[in-house]
Amino acid sequence: MGLFTILVTNLFKINKMKITEEKINLNFVRFIKMLKKYALYTDELDKDDQFNDLLKLAPSHTKDETGGAYNGGLIEHILLVTDYAKKLNENLLKEDERVDNKSLMKVCFLHQISKAKEYRVNDVEWEIKKGNFYKFNDGLPALKTGEYSAYLCSQYGIELTEDEYEAILSIDKEDDVQTKLFGNMLSRILRVANEFANVERKKNFIKK
């Protein structure tokens, strides 16, 4: 089987099992609308058509078993994380524990944007058969997802406060006890929202 056939077959599987092109476009429109609402869609970001195209189609994960290895998976995941984070902040925390909504929305929308550059469609047939639909791009900076996302924010003229920076980097430290115990509230909400979103995504994957 040729490389082109492998790629086309893989993309067909991804699209067939997950969300439609219309849904991908609707999610991306909603995402950009929210970025604009919170003044995060800078001129630098708006002008980078290539990155916007990558962002729209990026998966949230590389492996099919995670439930996020499909076109448009990243934006769908980010929107889900954002919804959970907002509910956690508004409904489960005491008033004196709640964080600034604008700051919360910022870290939710931006904490994984680097995956648009980190992941690409897999072209290795035996890996695809195992459900590894995407792979990591070569030649990128040796940074973790949160670190690279924070770096991209700086490249696109998006300023982060110290708390926002800490929150974005916290997603790289899933098993770090110090982060779990002593991270700021923004970090804690973002981490829990991600955990909830991951559980929901995997449940939807199992149902399919």
- Over the stretch 14-37, which tens digit does the pLDDT of each residue have? 444 478 999 999 999 999 999 999
pLDDT (0 to 100) of residue 16: 43
Measured on CA atoms in the order 19, 25, 28, 30, is the torsion positive or negative?
negative
Angle separating helix axes 101-110 and 162-170, nearest 10 degrees: 40
pLDDT (0 to 100) of residue 5: 39
Q: Cα(16)–Cα(21) distance, rounded to whole angstroms?
A: 10
Side chain identity, residue 115? K
Domain hosting 173: range is: 3-207
Q: What pLDDT band is residue 202 in, cutting at 50, 70 and 90? A: confident
| 179-201 tens-digit pLDDT | 666 689 999 999 999 999 999 87
> pTM value?
0.87
2, pLDDT greater than 50: no
The CA angle 197-203-194, to the nearest 5 degrees, is: 15
The CA angle 89-60-93, to the nearest 5 degrees, is: 10
Domain count, the chain: 1
How many helices and strands in the chain, by DSSP H and E?
Answer: 12, 2
Q: What is the mean pLDDT of residues 33-57?
A: 98
- As a whole number, the mean pLDDT across the chain is 88
- Cross-strand bridge partners of residue 136: 119
141, pLDDT greater than 60: yes
